[in-house]
Structures are given as structure tokens and as C-alpha cells.
Amino acid sequence: MFDRMATLIDGKALAARIRTNVQARVEQLREKPGLAVLLVGNDPASHTYVALKEKACQEAGIRFEKRLYPPDVSETKLIADIEELNGRADVHGILVQLPLPAQDPDRVVAAIRPDKDVDGFHPENIRRLDVGLPGIVSPVALGILKLIDVTGIPFKGQKAVIVASSFFAHPIEVLLHDRGMDSATVSPDDPSWTDALREADVVVVAIGRPGYIQGNMLKPGAVVIDVGTTRVGDQLVGDADRESVKPIAGWLTPVPGGVGPMTVAMLLVSVLKAYQLQRHHKRP
């Protein structure tokens, strides 16, 4: 039986170190990298996330440009603006804040030049990840990998289960597989998903269902990476039920203060990578 409470993984502290490192690297550059964010609609969570990204960019010395659009803006307008940003030498990263209210995210994201796609969602960046070529990888996937890294568990031969949509899970699966971990994605609507969970050394959950993962679903000592963030009353709550998970898991990311800060920090790393790709004309 596992006989200690889970160690909380301090994503905030890890993110702060990464941001300091990015700031130091930006200071050495001849020109400031630039990030443009397209924000559509009035979703409060999306506005909060963009504000956090803006603040992080300002602190790191990355030029930040925000474009606001009404919820019913046409895809044609968004794509035209992306194409303009694609051609600007002072914009190294382009990000469309998701979810979009009504527009097709696949069509809009596909308009971004792959070497400026700092979210790593462009089909070309996904393809490059799949075949092991250099490209830009999803910041949330990279952040999750670093959070698992700090636990010190060996990757090789371990089993991971990702409870999420296949679109979200795919880059995480690839990165874990590259490190020698056996990983699989399950849907919470699959009747047998809890059986897979009990075998997992690492659980990544991103379903937006507060407190859905209970301690009795887990293998004792498992690493639980909780990506879910849902506002319940005046609190932000994760997909893992913290009170029941803590006595069973070995490590747990808190909500807030876990995956969120790491995603923002790794976005800054992506902007730097995009800047370097463009500077050396290694366009994916």
C-alpha cells in the first residue's frame, strides 16, 4: 500500500525558472521576437489566458500584439489577417486563442505559416512531430513532459494513460513514446477506461469535468498531471478530485499552479524557437 500523501508538483516555480531563462536569452538577441495573438469573442477564460500570455511576454522582452474580434467575425477576415501577419518580419509567432465561438479552428489554424505556429497545431507541425523532424511542438505537451520529468520517475518501460480528446492527446503521446513510455489515450465515455487508469504509472487528464478522477481509480504512487481548469463558484477546480487523489497518487499537479503556468512558459520557448527557425531560414 502507498503510505504517503502525494507530492504537489510546483508548476509555478518551474515556470518561473524557464521564464527567467527565456528573458536572459532574449536580452542577447539583436531584435525582439514578436508574438501576435488573435482573440475572438468575449469568453472570460480566453481573455484571462491572453492577459497572462501578454504579461509573460512583456516580462521576457517579447513584443506582444493583440487583435480583438467580435464573436461573429468571418473566417475570411481572420485568414486575411493571418496572411498579413505571415508576411511581417517583426512577427515571429502567431497564435489563435482557442476555442473559437463559431469559426472552424482547423481552417483558421491551417492559414498560419508553420514556422510561426507557436501553438504547434498546424498539420505540418503535427506531421513533423510524428516523423521526428524539427518543428514547433504544442507548449502544453512540452510543459506536461517537463512536469513529469521533475518527479524523477524513469520514462522507459512505464505506462501512461491520457484521458482527453485524441487531438489534444496526440502530441503528448508522441513525446512520451519518444522517451520510451508506453502511452494510450482513452475517453471517459468508454466503459472500460477506468481499467486502463488503474494500470497507469502516469495519468494525464484534460476533460473539463471537475473532480472526475477519484483516488480509487488510480494505481498507488501514480503521477497525476491535471490539465483541467473549470471555474466552480469563485474557485478554479481541476479534473482530479484533490482530496481523494492525494492519499493514493505519488505526485499531483495542483490547479491552479500546475500545468497552466508551465504552458505559458513553454509558449515563450516556442516563440524563441520560431524566431530561430525564421532567422536561419529553416522553415518547416
> In angstroms, rounded to a whole number, what is the distance separating the alpha carbons of residues 17 and 66?
26
Using the predicted structure, report yes or no on whether residue 171 has a pLDDT greater than 50: yes
Using the predicted structure, report yes or no on whether residue 283 has a pLDDT greater than 50: no
37 within a domain of the structure (yes/no): yes
- Under a CB-based contact definition with an 8 Å cutoff, are residues 25 and 272 in contact? yes
Query: Do 78 and 150 fall into the same domain?
Result: no
Q: What is the CATH number of the domain that holds 82?
A: 3.40.50.10860
> What nine digits make up the cell of 145?
513532459
Half-sphere exposure of 26 (CA within 13 A, CB side): 23
pLDDT digits (tens, 9 = 90+) for 188-246: 888 888 999 999 999 999 999 999 999 999 999 999 999 998 888 888 899 999 999 99
pLDDT digits (tens, 9 = 90+) for 50-107: 999 999 999 999 999 999 999 999 999 999 999 999 999 999 999 999 999 999 999 9
pLDDT digits (tens, 9 = 90+) for 23-38: 999 999 999 999 999 9
> In angstroms, rounded to a whole number, what is the distance separating the alpha carbons of residues 278 and 268?
16
> In angstroms, rounded to a whole number, what is the distance separating the alpha carbons of residues 278 and 274?
6
127 within a domain of the structure (yes/no): no
- Among all residues, which ones are annotated catalytic? 53, 97, 119
Q: What is the CATH number of the domain that holds 163?
A: 3.40.50.720
Using the predicted structure, report yes or no on whether residue 282 has a pLDDT greater than 60: no
pLDDT of residue 284: 43
**Number of Cβ atoms within 10 Å of the Cβ of 40:** 24
Number of structural domains in the chain = 2
The mean pLDDT of the chain is 95
1 within a domain of the structure (yes/no): no
Query: Do 163 and 236 fall into the same domain?
Result: yes
280 within a domain of the structure (yes/no): no
pLDDT of residue 234: 87
12 within a domain of the structure (yes/no): no
pLDDT of residue 192: 86
| 2-16, 37-51, 133-147, 270-284: segment of lowest average pLDDT | 270-284
Residue type, 72: D
Its domain, for residue 149, covers 139-261
> What nine digits make up the cell of 203?
495519468
